[in-house]
Amino acid sequence: MKCHEVDYEILGHDMQIVEVELDPGETVIAEAGAMNYMEEGITFEAKMGDGSTGDEGLFGKLMSAGKRALTGESLFLTHFTNTGSGKKRVSFAAPYPGKIIPFDMAKFGGELLCQKDAFLAAALGTEVGIAFTKRLGTGFFGGEGFILQRLRGDGMAFVHACGTVIEKNLNNDVLRVDTGCLVAFTSGIDYNIERAGSLKSMFFGGEGLFLATLSGTGTVLLQSLPFSRMADRILAHAPSGGGGSKGEGSLLGRLGGMLDGD
């Protein structure tokens, strides 16, 4: 095994955490700020690199940090190591409601492509990099832009998604999805963008101007509620600058505000 062999347990339902069990000397890497709790004996250190290639040197660390900056993530990954004498546990939580999906990378060909903010944690030895989409149109119109996260390794990796997660197994098939609903796919899947039907459907159908087309053989993970869509709905119903409230029932909402002194 190139990667450390870690055990884990997923806890919760809609606001999940993943609890990783480390043997003495084992390490798990995670996004900065993802740690929820850790037992005595676990030490942590923020590093620029993912540690997949040993001592990367200053130039290698700067390159790794630059790649992470392109994905909009923190320049640092946090390395959690069991320096104690027995098994110890450390847990990580997703930043928004949804699901945490465990991947045994060895069973998925050692490579996984995912949306830019999907990576949560992985066993030490997992390479966390970036992948550029091949087509200009895909870069401009596919909700993920030119850049996807690429995970490589043969150990456990954990990604998170918003809402319910759906797994689709393609066998030389074609699947069309909303660009924001795509979470991850294996390396045997070809990713492209196509126009969403006629001009009338594009502008008035409510499904967006473009759809992601996934074809080939492999596994695709989809999320039922993209975080950007949820955030848009929250902002649309947030109080205006004047501090007023938009109740679900307009009249009752105003009446309630009057009784509360608003």
Query: Does residue 96 register a pLDDT over 50?
Result: yes
Q: Judge residue 240's burial from the number of C-beta atoms within 10 Å of its C-beta, 0-12 exposed, 13-18 middle, 19 or more buried.
A: exposed
* Residue type, position 159, single letter: V
Is there a domain that residue 92 lies in? yes
Residues 89-115, mean pLDDT to the nearest whole number: 91
Q: Give the mean pLDDT of 117-137.
A: 79
- Whether residue 240 lies inside any domain: the answer is no
Domain annotation covers residue 31? yes
SS3 of residue 199 by DSSP = helix
Residue 242 belongs to a domain: no
Instruction: Answer yes or no: is pLDDT of 142 > 50.
Output: no
Whole-model pTM? 0.76
Domain membership of residue 248 (yes or no) is: no
CB contact set of 172 (below 8 Å; sequence gap of 6+) = 216, 217
In order of 15, 100, 137, 157, the CA distances from 11 in angstroms are: 9, 9, 40, 16
Alpha carbons 29 and 107: distance in angstroms, whole number? 20
What percent of the chain clears pLDDT 70, i.e. is strictly above it?
A: 71
Helix boundaries (H) for the chain? 57-70, 136-141, 199-204, 227-236, 250-259
Each residue's pLDDT tens digit, 154-199: 999 999 998 889 999 999 999 988 878 889 999 889 888 776 655 5
Taking only the tens place, the pLDDT of each residue in 4-28 is 999 999 998 878 999 999 999 999 9
Q: For residue 239, is pLDDT > 60?
A: yes
- Asked if the structure places residue 244 within a domain, the reply is no
What's residue 41's pLDDT? Answer: 94
- CATH number of the domain residue 99 falls in: 3.60.160.10
Is residue 122 within 8 Å of residue 153, measured between CB atoms?
yes
pLDDT for residue 122: 95
Burial 202-228 (b: 16+ CB within 10 A, else e): eeeeeeeebbbbbbbebbbbbbebbbe
Q: What is the pLDDT at residue 52? A: 73
Residues spanned by the domain of 142 = 7-234
What is the number of structural domains in the chain?
A: 1
Indicate if the pLDDT at residue 202 is higher than 50. Answer: no
Q: Please report whether residue 84 resides in a domain.
A: yes
Q: Which residue has the higher pLDDT, 249 or 112?
A: 112
Q: How far apart are the first and last CA of the chain?
A: 62
Return mean pLDDT, the chain: 79
Q: What is the pLDDT of residues 33-67, one digit of tens each?
A: 899 999 999 999 998 777 776 655 555 555 555 55
Per the domain annotation, does 205 fall within a domain?
yes
